């Protein structure tokens, strides 16, 4: 890390500033030039765009606190979980603003509206999902590179889906969640380390790390209705997206708890399932959340997604590791991949039932196919670039360990040693476990 990371980060920030100077149109001047009675019209625009500000803030919480804390579940990798999440998102929202703006304006200068800011936050989510797949096995330098590359591919696919295919995907089940998951899985496949075939001792949670992760999980859960409705273009659709997401999420909680208990030994609940599968309803209802579906339909989607997600954690993730040599640290395939595909399929079915025009259905199917295909191709190429042994990758034994990239002062071992000497095992077990 000595110089590679700081130099690359500063270099990227300089590039961002130059690109903003070149491409971001300065609001006032534009309004002056295109409209003589400038103040009036600018005020109108601003008030309209400001209506999306609460939604922007809700999405913002999800990106920074939600995804950040969700990734603190590993007992020795919390600093990286929440810290590299912040770095990815802060760089990504700048690059997302630029690259999405350029796609939409066809290379012309463009203005920053609230919707741009929401879309920029959205673009970072794809990288945060993929980050989950490779969590603990990559360096911050690699994450800077993945941020730039993945957001570029995402912006291209997003443009294709929304501006060429004109498909519907309000909560971006396909374009963000399935895309981010399959991109991350492709990268994880390329970066597979046979040295980590055995379960790594660091790849565990402890009691308090699981509680930190619940902060992230709950803030994601709470604001998911805003995520799925933030970019809906009329109040009615926005409202419908909120209602459907709300009930889909609630249903997925109940089935996730039920299936977790069903599959674990002696009917116990598993924190990994609770942290993740309870959110699957939000992902899966994303594509059709603003369509004319009754709430009970959303609840069916959510119920299925919650159950499928738990089954994925239990059966698919181990299979991926052993058979496909794809090691998915956070199980993003179960939270974003499968539910994203369910969302895409639900969208296709809903459009097929609603619309007499079959081209719309084909569009939806093409959008799902395109999102997965670009994700896989983009992920394979990105993985190949990240595999170049120059990016300060951690050695196998230091994976999932903050102390490689962070100053970590302290140790439990020493504390434990002292206790061992002085206290009975019984007392100790009561004193130490909560720590």
Positions in 270-309 near its own copies (CB under 8 A) = 270-271, 274, 278, 292, 294-296, 299-300, 303
- Tokens 């209802």 belong to residue: 285
Q: How many CA atoms lie within 13 A of 98 on its CB side?
A: 18
Closer residue to its own copies in complex, CB, 222/381:
222
Site for its own copies contains 390 (CB under 8 A) = no
Site string for its own copies, 94-113 (x = CB under 8 A): x-----------------x-
CB of 180 to its own copies, least distance (A): 20
CB of 268 to its own copies, least distance (A): 5
Query: Under rule CB under 8 A, which residues in 200-239 are in contact with its own copies?
Result: 201-202, 204-212, 214-215, 218-219, 221-223, 225-226, 234-236, 238-239
Instruction: Name the one range near its own copies by CB under 8 A: 267-275, 325-333, 348-356, 381-389.
Output: 267-275
CB of 339 to its own copies, least distance (A): 16
Query: Under rule CB under 8 A, which residues in 167-196 are in contact with its own copies?
Result: none
Query: Under rule CB under 8 A, which residues in 118-147 are in contact with its own copies?
Result: 140
- Do residues 405 and 143 make contact, with C-beta atoms less than 8 angstroms apart? no
Q: Rounded distance, CA 149 to CA 155, Å?
A: 10
Q: Which of 259, 201, 232, 218 is nearest to 74 (CA)?
A: 201
Residues near 425 by beta carbon (within 8 Å), at least 6 away in sequence: none
CB of 257 to its own copies, least distance (A): 5
CB of 336 to its own copies, least distance (A): 20
Instruction: Name the one range near its own copies by CB under 8 A: 72-80, 319-327, 353-361, 369-377.
Output: 72-80
Q: Rounded distance, CA 279 to CA 285, Å?
A: 11
- Do residues 185 and 133 make contact, with C-beta atoms less than 8 angstroms apart? yes
Q: Which of 330, 402, 359, 306 is nearest to 84 (CA)?
A: 402
Instruction: State the DSSP string of 246-258.
Output: HHHHHHHHHHHHH
Site for its own copies contains 401 (CB under 8 A) = yes
Q: Which of 377, 382, 375 is nearest to 161 (CA)?
A: 375
Report the DSSP beta bridge partners of residue 24.
110
Site for its own copies contains 393 (CB under 8 A) = no
By CB under 8 A, how many residues form the interface with its own copies?
141
């Amino acid at each position: 890390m000595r110089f590679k990371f700081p130099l690359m980060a500063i270099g990227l920030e300089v590039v961002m500033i130059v690109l903003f100077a070149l491409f971001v149109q300065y609001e006032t001047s534009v309004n002056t030039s295109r409209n003589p009675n400038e103040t009036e019209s600018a005020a109108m625009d601003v008030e309209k765009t400001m209506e999306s500000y609460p939604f922007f803030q809700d999405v913002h919480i999800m990106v920074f606190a939600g995804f950040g804390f969700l990734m603190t579940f590993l007992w020795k990798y919390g600093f990286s979980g929440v810290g590299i999440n912040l770095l990815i998102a802060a760089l990504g929202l700048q690059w997302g603003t630029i690259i999405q703006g350029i796609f939409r304006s066809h290379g012309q200068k463009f203005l920053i509206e609230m919707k741009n800011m929401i879309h920029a936050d959205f673009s970072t989510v794809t990288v945060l999902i993929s980050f989950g797949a490779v969590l603990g096995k990559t360096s911050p330098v690699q994450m800077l590179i993945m941020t730039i590359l993945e957001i570029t591919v995402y912006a291209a696919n997003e443009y294709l889906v929304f501006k060429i295919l004109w498909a519907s995907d309000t909560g971006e089940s396909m374009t963000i969640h399935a895309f981010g998951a399959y991109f991350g899985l492709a990268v994880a496949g390329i970066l597979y380390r046979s040295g980590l075939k055995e379960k790594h001792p660091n790849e565990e949670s402890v009691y308090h790390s699981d509680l930190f992760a619940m902060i992230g999980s709950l803030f994601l859960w709470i604001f998911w209705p805003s995520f799925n409705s933030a970019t809906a273009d009329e109040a009615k659709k926005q409202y419908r997206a909120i209602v459907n997401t709300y009930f889909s999420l609630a249903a997925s909680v109940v089935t996730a708890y039920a299936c977790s208990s069903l599959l674990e030994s002696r009917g116990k609940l598993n924190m990994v399932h609770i942290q993740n599968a309870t959110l699957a309803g939000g992902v899966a209802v994303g594509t059709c959340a603003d369509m004319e579906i009754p709430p009970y339909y959303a609840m069916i989607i959510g119920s299925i997604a919650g159950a499928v997600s738990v089954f994925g954690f239990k059966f698919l993730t181990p299979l991926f590791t052993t058979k496909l040599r794809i090691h998915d640290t956070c199980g993003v395939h179960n939270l974003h991949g499968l539910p994203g595909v369910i969302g895409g399929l639900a969208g296709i079915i809903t459009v097929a039932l609603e619309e007499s025009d079959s081209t719309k259905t084909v569009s939806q199917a093409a959008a799902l196919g395109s999102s997965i295909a670009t994700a896989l191709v983009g992920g394979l190429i990105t993985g190949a670039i990240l595999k170049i042994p120059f990016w300060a990758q951690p050695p196998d034994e230091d994976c999932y360990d903050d102390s490689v990239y962070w100053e970590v002062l302290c140790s439990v071992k020493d504390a434990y040693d002292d206790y061992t000497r002085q206290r009975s095992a019984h007392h100790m077990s009561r004193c130490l476990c909560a720590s």
